[in-house]
Amino acid sequence: MAELRLANPLDLAAVRAQFPGLNQQVNGMPLAYLDNAATTQMPLAVQEAMRHFEQHDRANIHRGMHALSQRATDDFERARQALERFVGAGPGHELVFTSGTTDALNLVAGGLSSPGTVPAWIRPGDEIIVSGLEHHANLVPWQQAARRCGAVLRILLPDGQGRLHAEDLARLLTPRTRIFAVTACANATGERPPYEVLLALAADAGALTVLDAAQAVGHEVPQLSALACDLMAFSGHKMLGPMGIGALVGRREALDRLVPLRFGGDMVEWVGWDEARFNDLPSRLEGGTPNVGAAVGLAAAAAFIGEVGREAIDAHVRALRAKAAAGLAAIEGVTVLAPNSSASAIVSFAAAGVHPHDIGTLLDEQGIAVRTGHHCAQPLLDHLGLGSTTRASFALYNTFDEVERLRIGVERALKLLR
């Protein structure tokens, strides 16, 4: 695997110095943090940006006449602009802060299916197509939306290796298709679907297109302006940022179709006893006091990724995934999911006759943090004929030595458990 090391231009020592939490012992062994698909660690630069905001500029935003409120508002709006640039938003796009991907996708599915001043976008008999690779956060809200509107939910099922195919989507699309929702990377398997092609196909058929970018923003960073994508969701804590912040970013006309789900302060322009008029975007969808410090931190995380270099990060995590997948697949009785995926940071595997929780526990004893279970994608793992799996996921700070420790750790665990 020496060639993978050569392909890696990251200065890992310098990168890891930004994440002091990585430099600790767990169960007497150096920590190998391989649970980045759940939550990444946060660099000092992000922590410092948030500390600066909380110490100097903390105040509620918008319409405060005093200096701190103005500074907080400026910080918040600067963060919004920085994140718009980060995801390649153009002049016709708008970014709405949310608490994360789940919140953003609920806003989309709820906002398109709830009654408001205009009829809901989804009507009885309409069809919603959701890919079969989705996290529950991009499936359950659509189940609810379909039920609320009397629409039909159709699933774009993956093949036996967990891949999505454009021909299958073409067969599902009809003049009644109103929505197509797909992930940029399946968190449970590490499959990176050809979402560019799928979104374009669905958009051509007249569907509103939704991309769950939660597992891509840490390295691949889908660029909105280059995609036939109406709405895209992501979370801060999966891209080196804080928890409790994320965004829904998309075409203004698509965001305008969303009925607000949170009514109250900040999202209204005028209020009478019996009715209210709502603000324009983005405030219309940001009712209540936002997590300003976290927005500042998220923008700092985007800047950090930009400084290290997206291409370098992407190449690094892909190489880690490739090495891990090859090493694990070579262990007897181990099945690596999405074996052909070459553009993700996630490797998920099942071991015949062994429960993933036992593997996870034995790895933890060796200081290796992985995730086990159904990864909030129960129907997908059922469809692939698997129960739960063990998942290792990589970020820019992981090393090839950690991947090797994972392989050896799994081998040892399986010997003990079989």
Q: CA-to-CA distance for 39 and 54, rounded, in angstroms? A: 23
In angstroms, what is the minimal distance from the CB of 389 to ligand PMP?
14
Give 216 or 406: the residue with its C-beta nearer to ligand PMP. Answer: 216
Choose between 348 and 366: whose C-beta lies nearer to ligand PMP.
348
CB of 351 to ligand PMP, least distance (A): 22
# residues contacting ligand PMP (CB under 6 A): 14
In whole angstroms, give the CA distance from residue 274 to residue 23: 58
**Is 73 a binder of ligand PMP (CB under 6 A)?**
no
Is the CB of residue 8 less than 8 Å from the CB of residue 315? Answer: yes
Asked if residue 283 binds ligand PMP (CB under 6 A), the reply is no
Query: Rounded to the nearest whole angstrom, what is the least distance from the CB of residue 270 to ligand PMP in the complex?
Result: 33
CA nearest to 87, candidates 306, 376, 323: 306
Rank residues 58 and 383 by Cβ distance to ligand PMP and give the closer one: 383
Q: What residues are paired with 393 via a beta bridge?
A: 35, 346
100 or 327: CB nearest ligand PMP: 100
Q: Which secondary-structure segment (H or E) carries 349?
A: strand 346-351
Stretch that binds ligand PMP, among 86-94, 95-103, 283-291, 409-417 (CB under 6 A): 95-103
Residues in region 121-160 near ligand PMP by CB under 6 A: 135, 137-138
Please give the structure tokens belonging to residue 165. Answer: 């195919």
Residue 12, φ and ψ in degrees, nearest 5:
-65, -35
Residue for token digits 């569907």?
207
The reply to whether 251 sits near ligand PMP by the rule CB under 6 A is: no
Measured distance CA(344)–CA(238) in Å, rounded:
13
Phi/psi at 254 (nearest 5 deg)?
A: -70, -45
Interface segment toward ligand PMP; rule CB under 6 A; list 211-219, 254-262, 315-323, 394-402: 211-219
User: What minimum distance in Å lies between the beta carbon of 392 and ligand PMP?
Assistant: 14
- Among residues 139, 146, 214, 368, which is the contact residue for ligand PMP, using CB under 6 A? 214
Closest contact distance (angstroms) between CB of 293 and ligand PMP is 17
Query: Contact between 393 and ligand PMP (CB under 6 A)?
Result: no
> What's the rounded Cα separation, in Å, for the pair 407 and 405?
5
For tokens 């995730």, name the residue. Answer: 371
d(CA 217, CA 317) in angstroms, rounded, equals: 12
> Within a 13 Å sphere around the CA of 29, how many CA atoms are in the beta-carbon half?
16
Among 18, 113, 177, 235, contact with ligand PMP (rule: CB under 6 A): 235
Establish if 187 lies at the interface with ligand PMP (CB under 6 A): yes
State whether residue 391 is helix, strand or coil.
strand
Which range binds ligand PMP by CB under 6 A, 96-104, 165-173, 347-355, 401-409? 96-104
Catalytic residue status for 185:
no
Q: 155: which strand partners?
A: 130
Q: Does 292 bind ligand PMP (CB under 6 A)?
A: no
Question: Which residue stretch of 171-179, 209-217, 325-333, 389-397 sits at the interface with ligand PMP (rule: CB under 6 A)?
Answer: 209-217
Decide: 148 and 179 in contact? Cβ < 8 Å: no
Check binding of 101 to ligand PMP (CB under 6 A).
yes
What is the C-alpha to C-alpha distance for residues 165 and 157, in angstroms, rounded to an integer?
A: 9
Per CB under 6 A, does 100 bind ligand PMP?
yes
Of 135 and 257, nearer to ligand PMP (C-beta) is: 135
Q: Is residue 180 helix, strand or coil?
A: strand
Task: Work out whether 212 is an interface residue with ligand PMP (CB under 6 A).
Answer: yes
Asked if residues 377 and 131 have their Cβ atoms less than 8 Å apart, the reply is no
The answer to whether 192 and 214 have CB atoms below 8 angstroms apart is no
Q: By CB under 6 A, tell whether 389 contacts ligand PMP.
A: no
Tell which positions 328-387 bind ligand PMP, by CB under 6 A.
376
Indicate which residues carry an active-site annotation: 376
Note the residues at the interface with ligand PMP (CB under 6 A).
Answer: 37, 100-102, 135, 137-138, 183, 187, 212, 214-215, 235, 376
